[in-house]
Structure 1
Amino acid sequence: MLSAVLFAALVFAFTNGFHDAPNSLATAVSTRTLGPRAAVTMAACMNVIGAFLGEGVARTISRDIITPPEGPAGPVVLLAALIGAITWNVVTWYKGMPSSSSHALVGGMIGAALASTTAVRWSGAAANFALPMVLSPMIGLLLGFFAMVAIMWVFRRTNVQRMTRGFKIAQSASAAAMALGHGLQDAQKTMGVVVLALVATGYQDSYDVPLWTVCAAAGAMALGTLTGGWRIMRTLGRRVIKLDAPRGFAAESTVAAVSYATSFIWQVPISNTHMITSAIVGVGATRRLSAVRWGVAGDIVAVWLATVPGAAAVAILAYLVLGTALPT
């Protein structure tokens, strides 16, 4: 059963890569700063580098959300949680809607816990998951808006074509920085589940992340990123608002800065998907409110709200099926 959990965790990391790859690719590709192949290769490389830069978020995932029971039930809970998260990732990817792999994972963990005798650490889940979930989109929107206002004011007397060329170069750096933040944040979530499985089954006493876990999570996510994610990229890069290079740079820089702060300072998981989508809306609102396609944005928010309960529901069903194999 532990082997099944480890395999499912790597599958989740793979789906995380192709599901969330558009976060760091859509803006750069839609503004034609980077070609699709160059963008995918760059994002995969930066994902791998980011995975090796910390483990604070992994510790939060492994210690502060749920406490699986000892014995054979522990791995079953984690396997059901991963099935819930993977299913949600695949369904939303197929529909072309950006949703949070992080929220799908935590939703799956909570759902599987509620279906079993697993204890949910509600205080930890509230402080380290629910609060960042609520605040991060608002922060992304506001920071994106004010970053773009600052750019418009600083370059107000600059020739538009010259400014666009300059920001295309700058956007290559901001896209790389955001992809690094994606690896830093999301690879650690897979690491956290693996560590939790090792602790629950008695193979490990501490919540330290083994090097092989980092390598496996980084590799699986990078492979997922290399497969692209063009359905979601179309939604983020073109359907919400038509982006230009300065706005793409402002949105990506906003997400990168928040990813680093939450990973290194607060060590809490956030959704890069929520951040980039809200940042795109924020930078787009500086043009005019009608420039944002609010109907598309509303559909995205609806998917966000459904992510935790949706993944939890699938995890509950998975646990009820898998739990029949447990000894009585």
Structure 2
Amino acid sequence: MEMAARLRPASKKCTVIGGSGFLGQHMVEKLLEKGYSVNVFDIRKGFENDKVQFFLGDLCSKEALLPALEDVTLVFHCASPAPSSDNRKLFYKVNCIGTRTVIEACKESGVEKLVLTSSASVVFEGTDIKNGTEDLPYAKKPIDYYTETKILQEKEVLSANDPDKNFFTTAIRPHGIFGPRDPQLVPILIQAAKSGKMKFMIGDGKNLVDFTFVENVVHGHIQAAEHLHKDSPLCGKAFHITNDEPIPFWTFLSRILTGLNYDEPKYQIPYWLAYYLALLLSLVVLLLSPFITVKPTFTPMRVALAGTFHYYSCERAKRDMGYKPVVSLDEAVARTVQSYSHLRQAK
């Protein structure tokens, strides 16, 4: 084993920033499987693994980051607060200030490749996107503050690409990540079903959306890292990574609900009606804000996410890094549902 460790090329040493998170953990497992030696930098230790070296600290502290980047040639930056959080300060701190610090620390440590986890939502403004390419402009009116800071973050990382200094950057834009151990989509969906909030679908149920299995997102990141080098078409560019199987939004949710023995939504609310109701609600919240704090879950933005088309083309990733999904949507849904059997409703 010591012999193998000595023979392992230095280029196989990488750091996953945010490696304790949902995507990060899956990424670490896959990298180890592929023979990489892995450091994790995070604010907390999210799992036990004696093959991984953990470095705990704040992303905004270069002093804390530097030890995690020693002798490392490749960094994956997938640290992020939960998109559903509404802590604007935290989004700005992690996504903007933290990312600047990561770039500085990488350059100082002689890291050659930086792969950022961005989001396909950086081009979404609440209206239909069908087979959207990476040439779409950044959203002028981002759907929320999380996305606003993801746009700033992506620009920062892509513009840091500097072939003359042997520093190469690329950004992966997944959409609708789901899978086993996901803390967001499935648990929130089941909570909504339990409290009777999943009886209505917004719109006619025909709007297609990308949901992407976590293993395909990981695969896209690793393909990008392995194809990122001087003069490669990845340098300073962003790439959509999806399952490449857009599915009606409500069909996908229904599959997860029925898979866990919950009823699928029965009634339809016209999209325009839901949107105006949500607008009205946000106006009421605004008027009441001096007196009481209400956090509506029914917002115009959520209505737009549930009722519009938003799916993206992976053609550029297929062409430039040989990407193709490794797990089909059917298989992905089955594996996800199985992994949440503890949330299954007894019939």
Give the structure-1-normalised TM-score: 0.26
| Structure with greater proportional helix content | 1
**Which structure has the bigger radius of gyration?**
2
| Structure with greater proportional strand content | 2
